[in-house]
Amino acid sequence: MNAVPHLSWYLALSAVLFTIGVVGVIIKRNVISMFMCIELMLNAVNLTFVAFSSYFRDVTGQLFVFIVMTVAAAEAAVGLGIIITIFRNRESLDVDDANILKL
Amino acid sequence: MIRYIIFAPLVGAAINWFIGRRVRKEAFISWVACLAVGVSTVVAFYLAFKQGGALTSDAVPGVAPVTDHLWTWLNVGGFRADFGFAIDRLSGIYVLFVTFVGLLIHIFATGYMHDDPGFYRFFAYLNLFMFSMLTLILADNLLLMFVGWEGVGLCSYLLIGYYVDRKEAGDAAKKAFVANRIGDWGVVLGIMLVFFITSAAGQGSISFFDKPVQGVTSALQTIAHMPVESFGWGTLFAGGITSAAILLFIGATGKSAQIPLFVWLPDAMAGPTPVSALIHAATMVTAGVYMVVRCSAIYTHAPTAMFIIAIVGAATALFAATIGIAQNDIKKVLAYSTISQLGYMMLACGVGAFVAAIFHVMTHAFFKALLFLGSGSVIHGMHHEQDMRRMGGLKKYMPVTFITMLIGWLAISGIPIFAGFFSKDEILWKSWSTGLFPNAGKILWAVGALTALLTAIYMTRLMVMTFWGKERFAEEDAGGQADEAHAHAFDEGEKPHDAQLPSAGDRAHHEPGEHVDKGLDEHDEDLTVHAGSGGHGHGHGPFKPHESPWVMTVPLVVLAILSTLGGLVGIPYALSSIVGLNVPNYFERTLEPIINNPSESGESVRAEGEPARPQMLSKEPQPHDGASPLSVGEGAQNEPHTERVATSGEVSQERLFTGISVIIAAIGIFIGWTVFRKRPLKEMPRLLENKYYVDEVYDAALINPIKVGSREGLWKLFDVGVIDGIVNGLGRGVTEIGRVVRHLQVGFVRSYAAIILFGALAVIGYFAYYIFKMAGH
């Protein structure tokens, strides 16, 4: 029987995914890409939750995952709505074009 | 039952206000207003004279008034104020003449205010006034009395400022309101102090009467059981009975126009004449006297306060009389006369002659209402001319007004038989014979006697200028016209003294739009109005004065009869015994039992064993019912029988003083007649004509400093500098901070994300550092 992967594997994967998300949000200009990176971060966190849930034999972590997924769905709907509106107004998906909220 | 007296005028006011303003039929409004007061009058007379009524001899004197408890108004902790009314003999007398004189004046006003655009408003206010005044009189506790007190102040304000388009009227109304407000401050504090004093004695109360059903004890009884405070200035500020007495008296100086708060009353003549008669002569201004007499238990325990009241009263009487002698506006003369007579009443209160004060209130209500309504009739007949220099010879044109005012003149001058004689004479005699301050009493008498002389002189002047002599209105100079407005402007000394007739320069106060109706004849039509000009057109040019309609003359006649006979209820024993009628003073006998709670306070006074005071104080609270005006000496004290007979020495002395009073009055009339019959326009000392410059002094000493202080100090310095400074400074500070901080907003989403990231890393790093540090230990 194969050994169950150690917890640190999951955590490492999660950290990698999260870092990719963070870096993506910072360096990407395309708003859709940024959005996807945010989703990536959320799912990295979800992975952590599930890993710990399995590790501690506690179902609470999985419950949190469901909540996060719900929020993520809602956020996706709202976020895409905003993106569509920005695109209609600016004919562009570059976030640096949406910069009037300053000075 | 009492509630009907009070609420009938309120209902009348409501009907006129809500329905009368739409109906706009003068007949309807008049009937509603007069019926409302009529109901009050009938009920009042019924309650006073029914079997066992307030003023009948079989009523239990003073102790058990007729009461009417409506509801408990306030009941907080130990403090209790009921919405309840009571008639005892004091309020019984008041309510009778207030309702009756009020009814007559309402009837008169239906004629006087004919064709006024604000007819409904006038009568609504007038009825509201009756409601407030009756509340004041009939309230069974100090707080409810204060409600009426404020109510009459409000109605006075509304009615003085009735001619809303005249600035003088509005100013006079505000002046009256402010002056009264200063006094009301004293009343409120006085009421609180009474409650504290009685609370300290274990029976906190502000009620006038014992009300066993509601478990209320009488504050006055409680105070009557306390020791009399000593005479001295220290007691004024000691927070005891004397302080309460003085605080209440401050209210009385406002309402009853005493020095120093009398200034509002002359200006209050800007209101319609029936208002002057009802509010500013007969009823409201005597409220201060009523309060002092009602609280006689408090005052008899505060000799210092009594002394101050006597001084203020005498000073006011003399002061106002000297001013009255030099006024040319017929209503101004009467206004100062009213102040002077109110001074008499206060003098009577101060020397402990509470009954005489009330007696004078009553007779004064008759003859001063008569004089005011008479002057109203003259003004009406003269087409709203108030300057006596433009009258003269009116007796031919206005016979009824002339005869009735003649009676009023004799009554106020103090000619025997007429009402004013008995009351004024009694006050003078009581001042002379007072046991409170025997030496000062002589001076007070002298002041009072001098005032009586002046009273006779200025009233004679008024009569002569108005009804005798040349008909000066006929030789009216072109363009000269006077109206109520001009008469109430401050005559700041620009009156031409040397002119035989006041020239046009005197009459700068025309209201715009009054130059109409020229050459109309003298009948009522020319009183029709250009609406909005205050309701009085001015027939102008050659005209003849005319007698007033019957609605105005009938009240005059009734009041004249009362002014003639009204004094007979209070004939002192010393006089009735001359003609062989050995009746004691009926008025005094009626009122005496309720003045300063019989017996108890007398006992407490005696128990205290103070040598000087008991003698003078136990004079009022004598245990034998009905101490007569003669019961001044100690000898009178020990008379055991109720119908006491004064010693012959006292009787003869009182007769002597009565004789002196008559002689003074006769001299006054003689002087007035000889001087003014020949030269009716004789110029008066400028100082007097300008009222001792009191208004100017008040302006300079009080009003301007307050104005300047408010404008320069409170407004420009404090409000603009401090208050606005704080608010503006806060705003400016926030702006400045924002100007610096806003550079953080670069506008690039990714920079924000980066900032969030670094922030998060910083927080995480911070915690990681500490965790490692703790793990390291």
- The DSSP-derived string for B498-509 is S-SS--GGGG--
pLDDT the model gives residue A101: 65
- Give the pLDDT band (50/70/90) at residue A46: very high
The pLDDT tens digits of the residues spanning B101-137 come to: 999 999 999 988 888 888 999 999 999 999 999 999 9
User: Is residue A73 in some structural domain?
Assistant: yes
User: Is residue A96 in some structural domain?
Assistant: no
Between CA B190 and CA B195 the distance in angstroms is 9
* Bond preceding residue B260 cis, omega within 30 of 0: yes
Between CA B359 and CA B425 the distance in angstroms is 11
Residue in B with minimal Cα distance to A95? B749
The pLDDT tens digits of the residues spanning B181-193 come to: 999 999 999 999 9
The whole-chain average pLDDT of chain B stands at 80
A88 shares contact with chain B (CB less than 8 Å): no
- Test the A interface: residue of B742, B750, B758 with most A CBs within 10 Å: B750
Report the Cα B461 to chain-centroid distance in Å.
Answer: 25
Q: Exposure string (b/e) for B70-82, b if CB count within 10 Å is 16 or more?
A: eeeeeeeeeebbb
* Percentage above 90 pLDDT, chain B: 38
Q: Where are the alpha helices (DSSP H) in B351-390?
A: 354-381
Half-sphere exposure of B540 (CA within 13 A, CB side): 15
Residue in B with minimal Cα distance to A27? B750
Neighbours of B279 (CB within 10 A): 25
Of A27, A28, A99, the CB nearest to B748: A99
pLDDT the model gives residue B99: 93
Least confident of B205-209, B454-458, B646-650: B646-650
* β-pair partners for B79: B76
pLDDT the model gives residue B580: 65
- Give the pLDDT band (50/70/90) at residue B725: very high
Q: Where are the alpha helices (DSSP H) in B113-166?
A: 119-138, 142-160
The pLDDT tens digits of the residues spanning B293-316 come to: 999 889 988 889 999 999 999 999
- H or E stretch including B75? strand B66-76
Residue contact B749–A34, C-beta within 8 A: yes
- Test the B interface: residue of A20, A26, A35, A94 with most B CBs within 10 Å: A26
Between CA B357 and CA B430 the distance in angstroms is 10
B contacts of A22 (beta carbons < 8 Å): 757
Task: Report the SS3 class of residue A94.
Answer: strand
| Domain membership of residue A37 as a residue range | 29-91
pLDDT the model gives residue B577: 73
Between CA B662 and CA B677 the distance in angstroms is 21
B650 versus B325: the higher-pLDDT residue is B325
Mind telling me how many Å the CA of A2 is from chain B's nearest CA?
35
Q: Which residues contact B182 (CB under 8 A, 6 or more apart)?
A: B250, B254, B261
Q: Are B640 and B251 in contact (CB under 8 A)?
A: no
The pLDDT tens digits of the residues spanning B358-404 come to: 999 999 999 999 999 999 899 888 888 888 888 888 888 888 899 99
A98 shares contact with chain B (CB less than 8 Å): yes
Task: Report the SS3 class of residue B388.
Answer: helix
Question: What's the mean pLDDT in B277-290?
Answer: 90
Mind telling me how many Å the CA of A3 is from chain B's nearest CA?
31
Q: Are B400 and B547 in contact (CB under 8 A)?
A: yes
Residue contact A27–B750, C-beta within 8 A: yes
User: Is residue A102 in some structural domain?
Assistant: no
Question: What's the mean pLDDT in B262-270?
Answer: 90
pLDDT the model gives residue A102: 63
Q: Are B573 and B630 in contact (CB under 8 A)?
A: yes
Residue contact A103–B745, C-beta within 8 A: yes
Between CA B93 and CA B41 the distance in angstroms is 12
pLDDT the model gives residue B210: 84
Q: Which residues contact B701 (CB under 8 A, 6 or more apart)?
A: none
For position A76, which CATH number holds? Answer: 1.10.287.3510
A12 shares contact with chain B (CB less than 8 Å): no
pLDDT of residue B599 exceeding 70, the answer is no
- Give the pLDDT band (50/70/90) at residue B521: very low
pLDDT the model gives residue B100: 92
A59 shares contact with chain B (CB less than 8 Å): no
Between CA B104 and CA B559 the distance in angstroms is 8
Residue contact B749–A98, C-beta within 8 A: yes
pLDDT the model gives residue B60: 53
Q: Are B620 and B296 in contact (CB under 8 A)?
A: yes
* β-pair partners for B83: B71
B contacts of A103 (beta carbons < 8 Å): 742-743, 745, 747
pLDDT the model gives residue B47: 86
Tokens 């006050």 label which residue?
B427
A3 shares contact with chain B (CB less than 8 Å): no
pLDDT of residue B36 exceeding 50, the answer is yes
pLDDT of residue B333 exceeding 50, the answer is yes
pLDDT of residue B474 exceeding 80, the answer is no
pLDDT of residue B490 exceeding 60, the answer is no
Q: Are B128 and B10 in contact (CB under 8 A)?
A: yes
Residue contact B749–A22, C-beta within 8 A: no
Q: What are the phi and psi torsion angles at B424 (to 5°)?
A: -65, -40
Number of domains observed in the structure of chain A: 1
* Percentage above 70 pLDDT, chain B: 82
- Whether pTM > 0.90 for this model: the answer is no
pLDDT the model gives residue B449: 93
Kindly provide the ipTM of the predicted complex, given to two decimals: 0.79
Between CA B193 and CA B205 the distance in angstroms is 11
Task: Report the SS3 class of residue B536.
Answer: coil
The pLDDT tens digits of the residues spanning B396-453 come to: 888 889 999 999 999 999 888 888 888 888 899 888 888 778 788 899 999 999 999 9
The pLDDT tens digits of the residues spanning B563-596 come to: 888 888 878 777 777 766 666 677 777 777 667 6
B57 versus B51: the higher-pLDDT residue is B51
Q: Which residues contact B385 (CB under 8 A, 6 or more apart)?
A: B379, B391, B473, B481, B482, B483
Gap between the terminal Cα atoms of chain B: 94
pLDDT of residue B604 exceeding 70, the answer is no
pLDDT the model gives residue B476: 52
User: Is residue A8 in some structural domain?
Assistant: no
pLDDT the model gives residue B203: 83
Residue in B with minimal Cα distance to A29? B750
pLDDT the model gives residue B389: 85
A39 versus B535: the higher-pLDDT residue is A39
Q: Are B524 and B114 in contact (CB under 8 A)?
A: yes
pLDDT of residue B636 exceeding 90, the answer is no
Q: What are the phi and psi torsion angles at B645 (to 5°)?
A: -115, 130
